[in-house]
Every structure is written in C-alpha cells, then in structure tokens.
Amino acid sequence: MPHPDIPLPRLIAHRGLSAHAPENTLSAVRAAHAAGVTWVELDVQLLGDGTPVIWHDANIRRCSDGRGRLADLDLAAARRLDAGSWFGDAFLDERMATLGEMLALLDELEMGVNLELKVNRGRDPLALVEAALPPLMEALPPTRCLVSSFNDTALGLARALAGPETLALGVLFEAVGRDWRRHCEPVQAYSVHADWKRLKQARVREVVEAGYRLLCYTANDPAAFAPRWQWGVAAVISDDPARFAGHLPDA
C-alpha cells in the first residue's frame, strides 16, 4: 500500500516532553526539540467554539487553574487559563496552545507530529476532523505527519479527506485484540499504536508481518521495554525519550 515515506524515529515524545514540561504545550514541544527529539505525540480536540486546541482531557482541572469541561470554553476563556503552573512555577505563563500555534512551532522547528484525534465522550469526530486535518496538512509535509486515534469514525473521516499516499493514519489500541485488522484495513492504516504493557509477541508478529509499523505507548522504563525491540517494534512513545539513550537496537 502506498504511504508517505516517513523517516519514523525510534523515539517520540509523549504529549511533548511531558516528563519535563506541562504536557501538550508549546514549552513541552520546545523542550523535546532541545532534548534532540524530532517527533512529538500531541492530542487535539475542540473548544466549544470550534477552535482546535492541543489538550488531552475532557476536563480542564488536571492541567490548568480552571474547572469544568473543555467543551464549555471559547477561545477567550481558554486563553485566560494558566496551563503551566500546575506542573511547576517556571511555567506560570503557559497558555493552552491552539492547533494553529502548535503547527507553526512544529514547522519552525522542523519537527514531526503524531497528532492524536482525541474524541472524548460525547464529542463529535466529524467536527474535529474537519477542523484539525486541513491545517495540519497545510502546515506540514506528509513525511512529518501521522494522525492517530482510538476512534474508528474519526480515522474513517480522516481517510475520506486524504488518500493513503498523502496522510499516514495510526490505529490506537489499548490491547490489540485478535480482530485488530478490522480496525486497520478499512482506513488503510500505516501504523498500529499499542499499550506496550498489554502487548503479546505473537500479535506483534502478525502486525509487523502484515506490513504495519508498530508504535508503543507510553514506555518510560527502557530496561523493561528492551525485549520488545527484538519483536519488531518500530518506535516508542515516551514521556522522557532521553531515558532510552543506550537502550536502542542497532540501525
């Protein structure tokens, strides 16, 4: 199957360099770049006014000084939030990043992104895909984009918007069940993204032999992870990729 010829790195920073900066922020991406990481995983969803923003939770409580649902905010209200000091005083002025701001930074730093279409409960996958994909594809070349989701509907809509040669799609799984192909084939997926702790070697073999790249989230213990490289895992999504220095397979 034709896919963009992505020079996928072994290590991708989860939500930016989230071990060292507030997750999913511009600072987290700058920190990843400063650490020598070339790709980041980020979550995108919509504010109530339709603005795509880089945010993981349905709620704003954990990662800001506010309370309530992301879906109830407009951009002006989102801008007023402090999205940094929950992580540390050094990040006091951090604001929630819009997708547009984040894409401008990724372009400037020449980084790649695994953009997760985060469809939290009750949210509309169509609105998200229509708001997030065109600016992504406008900002970055296909060799520096990978769009992933747990949501099959979102992935199907993304595939309808762009063919496999112009947009790589990754199917996210918690456990990769025996029916994993049912999620990958209809969207002509490029990759399978799995929780490394629930992964079985036989399943990895099936996925790799079928021609999919296998990405594992969220691994932060390189010694515990080590055997999986031999299984054929392509890349690790980690909160702190630097921990894997000296623990990577050759080539």
Active site residues: 14, 56
Q: Return d(Cα 209, Cα 106) in angstroms, integer.
A: 32
Q: CA dist 248 to 37, 40, 108, 228, 242, Å?
A: 14, 18, 28, 11, 11
- Nearest distance in Å: CB 72, ligand G3P: 21
Q: Which of positions 42-61 make contact with Mg ion (CB under 5 A)? A: 43
- The yes or no reply on residue 56 touching ligand G3P (CB under 6 A) is yes
Figure out which of the listed residues 13, 43, 207, 243 binds ligand G3P, where binding follows CB under 6 A.
43
Which residue type is seen at 238?
S
Closest CA to 56 of 31, 86, 22, 81: 22
Q: How far is the CB of 76 from Mg ion (least distance, A)?
A: 26
How far is it, in rounded angstroms, from Cα 96 to Cα 222?
Answer: 31
Among Mg ion, ligand G3P, none, the one that 220 touches (CB under a kind-dependent 5 to 8 A) is none
The site string for ligand G3P over 174-193 (x = CB under 6 A, - otherwise) reads -------------------x
| Window 131-170: contact mask with ligand G3P (x via CB under 6 A) | -----------------x----------------------
Nearer to Mg ion, 118 or 144 (CB): 118
Q: What is the DSSP string of 81-139?
A: S--STTT-GGGTT--PPBHHHHHHHHHHHT-EEEEEE---TT--HHHHHHHHHHHHHHH
**Residues 107-126 contacting ligand G3P, CB under 6 A:** 116
Regarding 23 and contact with ligand G3P (CB under 6 A), the answer is no
CA 89 to each of CA 13, 81, 137: distance values in angstroms, whole numbers, following the listed order: 22, 15, 35
Query: What burial class does residue 41 get, using C-beta atoms within 10 Å of its C-beta: 0-12 exposed, 13-18 middle, 19+ buried?
Result: buried
Asked if residue 94 binds Mg ion (CB under 5 A), the reply is no
In the complex, minimum distance from the CB of residue 116 to Mg ion, in angstroms, rounded to a whole number: 4
Q: Which residues contribute to the site for ligand G3P (CB under 6 A)?
A: 14, 41, 43, 56, 116, 148, 172, 193, 217-218, 237
